[in-house]
Structure 1
Amino acid sequence: MAQNFCPTSTTAETGGFTVQPQVCAGKPVTITGVPASLANIRYVYQYSGNGIPGGVATTSYIYTNPGSYTILQVAAGSNATGTFACRVVEVLPVALVSFSTTTCSNGVVRLTYKLDAETIRYNFLSINWGDGTPTSTVVLNGSTTTGTITHTYTGTAVNYVVQVSGSYTNACTSVPAVQNVKLQTTSVVDPNILALTSDATKATVDFQGPDGYSLELYQKDAGGIYAPTGLTGTSGGSFSIPANPATANCFQLVAKDACGGSERRSTEVCSLVITGTAEDKQNVLKWQPYAGKGGTFDTYRVYRNSGPPIFSARNQAINAYTDIGNITCNKSYCYILEAIIRNTTTSPTTVRSMSTCVSGSDNGSVVSPTSAYVSVQPNGVNVQATLPTLGLPSPYTLVITRADGAGSAFNPLGIGDDRSYLDATAQTNSQSYCYQVAIRNSCGALSKPTAPACTILLTKNPNGSISWTSASPYSNEPPQNYQVIFIDPVTGASDKKSLGNVTTYQPDPDSQVTQYQIAAINKAGIESYSNPAEVELGLRVFVPNAFTPNGDAQNQSFMAKGLMAFWDTFEMTVYSRWGDVVYNSTDKNTTGWNGEVNGSPATSGYYGYRIRVIDSTGRAFERTGQVLLIR
């Protein structure tokens, strides 16, 4: 194994040299004191203890990294095996010193240094303030990691360069760390409370202060003495502190020079307390006048429900305001009182109270619906109200009453919180109903009801005509026009015919059974419908007098026609000229006789027929005649 040539307790040096025991990283180590008897000298500057590696003849070496290093000297001498010697060199770190500066008033600068694992090894710090004054020296004890030094500049310059170097006893000095310092040139202003806002649990203080000062919030106690709250900051920001919103809380902002100068105080700023009481159609607000000392009172403002100000006054002694602006029963109204305080040299202060809320009261009259109308629907009567655009309570309730026809007493029917109401209990096929609508506010006050609006009752008369009631379905006007609606009983399709102001109609005698309905129309074009009614008239069957089964897709068969939906039974028989039956069917949905007899085309000519129909009411219809078959 390789032999360690540095001397131990069993070996001895046979060479020799001297070297400085400590050197800074980046600085040269120089070999001196070498005996003249040595020749062929080589040096290993980072000897690891393993044998004799190659070396260099130079007597100077620069270590770049801090640490402890062994230098091995190997030379030819009187000893046949050569000579050797070892020395240990400690390479010291030369890291830059970290520091910061704070400028204060009157040319004062405070320098704070912070030492890390390398820079704490320095024995001294040297501070060049850049103004020609003697360098400041700080003796380090090897354990203190931070410190502060204050210096006062007396010259007329504003900008200076500060240099901080670390150094070792009997060793080297580091490269200086450098910072530019700019002295304060503006006059120092007092700290200022920009805003004081109260809520249910705390007060929030927005503030600003002069640079170079530490700021602390002070609060006035029950004895009128200001005491620190422990809330601190610099330059500007916001404090939150627990506070009773039912009492006026007063604060001051205290600024202390970071370099140990005198303190400065803001004006006194006190919170506002506002209370509210609901009276009939008005809310009464009261407060104690603003109590802060210092500054000049400017304006009171009162805000409602996050809207713009509803009140403004420039008299500090005013302590009440009554809000009469459209107060609605049971609606919540929340108010905030604001005060603006002007300061001579700083920005104005805004003080805002905690919100106080009251529930509106309204014991007087309530605005009525503008109008109402009714219309019969398959599931009942729809009552529709038109509400006023101004003065409508919020919230409101619609109160609907009903009478059994015009002139009858009105009785409560139901309530709703929408513009419409459905009366599902009305028997619209047997009688007319009249309705009135009123508005009730949340305090229980009820408006005057609308005039009656009555449903249209449609009835059929023994002579086959139909008639309907004339009471208006609109509370504020009569109908401008009636329309009769014809409804196809098979397809459901409908058609309309305008009737003017008459209240009777005679259906077409040629129709079968048709469903009718009446629609009233007012000036605005709003339609109100009656109940539907079925009117049954005579049964009719239509029979062609000729057909042409020649394959041209027209008139290919012979069949009776009519409103088959009302045919209960049906039979059609066709005879030859000799009385033989050539076709017979009881299916009303058949396409009829196709002009064939036993699968072969019948000859052209006249054929007799007999058609018999019985409708759903049991009435019978029979017709006989001749039809011409043309080929």
Structure 2
Amino acid sequence: MTAANGIEVGNFDATVVACVGQQVDVKDLSGGTNIKYVFGYSGQAISALPGIPAKDGPNADWAFAQPANYIVLQYGKKNGKDMYACKVVTVRATNKPDVSYEACNNSILRLTIRDTPANNYTSYRIKWSDGSIVNVPVATVLPYTIQKSFPAAPTQNVLVEGFGSTLTSCPAATPMTIIMDRGDMFPRIEKIDLNEAGTEATITLEGNPDAEYNIFSRSIDQQGNLANPLPNKVKAGTFKMPVTDKTKSQCFLVARLGTVCSEYSNEVCTMPFKLEASDDDNKLTWNGFTVGRVPKTAAYTNINQSETKIIRSEDGTTTSTTFNNVSSPFLDDAADCNKKYCYTLSTKVTSSYAGYTGSTYIETAVVSQTQCIDRKTIVPDALTETVASVNDNNTVKIDFRDNSNWKLDIEKYRLHQLDNSSFEKIDSIPSTASKNFLDGSVDASKESYCYAIDFIDKCGSTSALSPSFCTIFLSEASKNELVWTDRPPFGDTGIDTFEVESYDEHTGAISTVISLAATQLKYIPNLSKFEEEAKFRIKTTGSDGTISYSNIYTMPVSVKLLLPDAFTPNNDGWNDNLEVKGTFRRIANFDFQIYNRWGNPVFSSDNPLRTWDGSFQGTSAPVDTYTYKIYAKLFDGTEVNKTGRFLLIR
């Protein structure tokens, strides 16, 4: 540890090399207080130290039960600040020095005494199986490497000893039996693990800890080529490699290419998988490992067998389920489709390769990425067959047919109405109900309303919204000119024709006035046959024959009151009576007055249908010019006044 703001650096003396079971002594050199020691510290946060077993200082001791390199952490107080220090202690199983080696061709052995804390001996001695001895001089700088050739043999026994700091409590070093066609430090990939995105592989490589290896990478469908290693070399341990195409298996191997001997690891490929919904089950598919030689490999790797298991975890819980010995495709029919699940494939691959042949196999763990599926995030295709039509009372009826082809049972359908720029849910019906909605909250005589429909299945998946569809709104743009909106009332079909329909004032019968193209959005009707009001609506026909109706629009008919310029009350059967002509159904009150030339009234009536026969007080009125006044008050309060003259001729 190094000092940081507010932290003091401690100091202590410690036994740096010990054997299993031997006491490791520590002695404080810091002068701090409240000192404690953690034997086997593994990088926990400072805040976690109070919960980690520790021995009180300033001096302490500990015996480790397993050989390894251990960190001893000292912490306490100094100068009012927190104080920390740490040292590494090497615990040996024996007095054997730490070595690495390579062997090949049953005849060549390259041995290295490594530069590690365990090798704190003064000098070393190597005894070869042929009886020869190499004494490594005192003060030789490590690492020390030596190569020796032997007559071809499957194994060699080699003894390496250290002197000068031999621990009496440790067993003496014993000879190593080295397999000469590969050695125990031959490179082998023991695990390959994909990240969650499937774009990076973490590889665990066993091998010579001092060696640097070339690494080769290819897609499973590419031919391997040992002439083109990647630019960076790797060492034994774990390292990360990019995956160029996460939908395909990516294969990796390492090699050390020497002038005398070359070493190749097993080639191991990732195993990505596809996770998707299949009805109310979850389906996993992948390309498994085939027994036999890895396809297109550049270095011999033969798969003896593979065994895949699936680990399924339930999101938000510690519950997990393992499915053993599975093959692709795998259908998880035990999953509850209302829950979110995560899946990982783990495959144990048993193989032989350049360094492990015959009856000797190695096992490699191939772990896929973890993929999760939440059925609520799956969006089924929208239904599209919809139609909106305005009822006579200006409510809106919406009919639909579910043509989404979604295989799961539907729980409910939902109706959405366009509000400003977004759709808001306004109603829902169970899937067992008739396929229609009634929007009684609107007045379709005032504007056009747009809708969309979606559904929710039994797994909680919500479909995409249907294409929007809108009521046709009929109104009057200018005097006696009908206009209507053009947004289709159908979800998935365009408009073929518009028909202007009218209502008979007396019977209510509907008839077609005119049929228009889909691009024509206005029409001036003939109102002459109407007396009080003219009612119209638009019948819209889709390209598939679907029909929708607009709101009914009423055009008030102007009251017309007409009087002839002359009449002839001579009993000849023609034009014998003076009659007011026009439309009277909108009239609530009526007054008709006729005056002679001196302004005296000669006829009056409050009934527009009553006629004047040209008589006054029982005698025929004289031939002359007469004036009249007509007053009418309509039901909507409008008043009509008309005056004029006419001739009475006999």
TM-score by length of 1: 0.37
TM-score by length of 2: 0.36
Q: Which of 1 and 2 has greater Rg?
A: 1
